Chains A and B, each alone.
Chain A
Amino acid sequence: MNKIGVTELRELIVAISERVASERDLLNRLDAALGDGDHGSSVSTAFEAAVEDIAALNEPSLSAIWLTTAKALMNRMGGASGAIFGTFFLRGVSLLREREGLDKAEMEAVLKAGLAGVKARGKAQLGDKTMVDALEPAMAAFAAAEDFRAAWSAAAQAAHEGAETTRNLLARQGRAKYLGERAIGRIDPGAMTVALMFAAIDNYWRANCK
Chain B
Amino acid sequence: MAVRKHKLINRPEDLVDEMLAGFCAAYGDIVRCGDNRLVMRAEPKAPGKVGLVMGSGSGHEPAMLGWVGEGLLDVVVAGEVFAAPGPDNMLAGIRAADRGGGVLICVSHHAGDRLNAELALELCEIEGIDNVDMVLLYDDISSAPKGRESERRGTAGLFFIWKLLGAYCEGDVSLAAAKALAEKVRDNTRSLAVSLSSCASPMTGETMFALAADEMEIGMGLHGEMGRGRQKALSADETIDLMLPPLLADLPYQTGDETLVLLNNSGSLTLMELFILYRRAAARLAEAGIRVYRSWIGPYATTLETAGFALALCRVDEQMKALWDAPANGAYMKQL
Give me the interface of A with B, judged by CB distance under 8 Å. 28, 32, 35-38, 41-42, 45, 71, 74-84, 86-87, 121-122, 173-175, 178-180, 182
* Cross-chain contact B206 with A81 (CB below 8 angstroms): no
Give A77 Cβ to nearest chain B Cβ, in Å: 7
A174–B203 alpha-carbon span in the complex (Å): 20
Size category of the binding interface on chain B: 35 or more
* 28 cross-chain CB contacts under 8 A: A28-B206, A32-B207, A32-B209, A36-B81, A36-B201, A37-B203, A38-B82, A38-B203, A41-B203, A42-B80, A45-B13, A71-B88, A74-B87, A74-B88, A75-B89, A77-B83, A78-B85, A78-B112, A79-B57, A79-B80, A79-B112, A80-B112, A82-B86, A84-B115, A86-B86, A175-B223, A178-B225, A179-B226
A37–B142 alpha-carbon span in the complex (Å): 22
* Cross-chain contact A175 with B221 (CB below 8 angstroms): yes
Give A5 Cβ to nearest chain B Cβ, in Å: 29
Give A199 Cβ to nearest chain B Cβ, in Å: 23
In the bound complex, residues from chain A placing their C-beta under 8 Å from that of B89 are 75
Picked from B13, B116, B206, the residue with its CB within 8 Å of the CB of A83 is: B116
Contacts A83-B112, A178-B143 given; indicate if A35 touches B80 (C-beta within 8 A): no
- Count the A-B residue pairs with Cβ separation under 8 angstroms: how many? 110
Q: Mark B191-202, 1 if CB is under 8 A from A, else 0.
A: 000000000010
Give me 9 other A-B pairs in contact (C-beta within 8 A), A38-B203, A74-B87, A84-B115 excluded. Answer: A32-B208, A36-B82, A36-B224, A38-B83, A79-B112, A81-B112, A82-B86, A83-B119, A182-B226
In the bound complex, residues from chain B placing their C-beta under 8 Å from that of A84 are 115
* Cross-chain contact B116 with A78 (CB below 8 angstroms): yes
Q: Chain A contact residues: over half helix, strand or loop, or mixed?
A: helix
Give B197 Cβ to nearest chain A Cβ, in Å: 15
The 6 lowest CB-CB distance pairs between A and B, nearest first, are A79-B83, A75-B86, A79-B112, A83-B115, A80-B111, A80-B112
A41–B82 alpha-carbon span in the complex (Å): 13
Give B182 Cβ to nearest chain A Cβ, in Å: 22
Give me the interface of B with A, judged by CB distance under 8 Å. 13, 57, 79-89, 110-112, 115-116, 118-119, 142-143, 153, 201, 203-204, 206-209, 221, 223-228
B203: nearest chain-A partner, CB-CB: A38
Contacts A35-B225, A36-B208 given; indicate if A82 touches B112 (C-beta within 8 A): yes
* Cross-chain contact A82 with B88 (CB below 8 angstroms): no
In the bound complex, residues from chain A placing their C-beta under 8 Å from that of B79 are 78-79
* Cross-chain contact B110 with A32 (CB below 8 angstroms): no
A174–B88 alpha-carbon span in the complex (Å): 22
Give B135 Cβ to nearest chain A Cβ, in Å: 18
A77–B311 alpha-carbon span in the complex (Å): 32
B224: nearest chain-A partner, CB-CB: A36
* Cross-chain contact A38 with B225 (CB below 8 angstroms): no
Among B13, B207, B223, B225, the one with the most A-chain Cβ atoms within 10 Å of its Cβ is B225
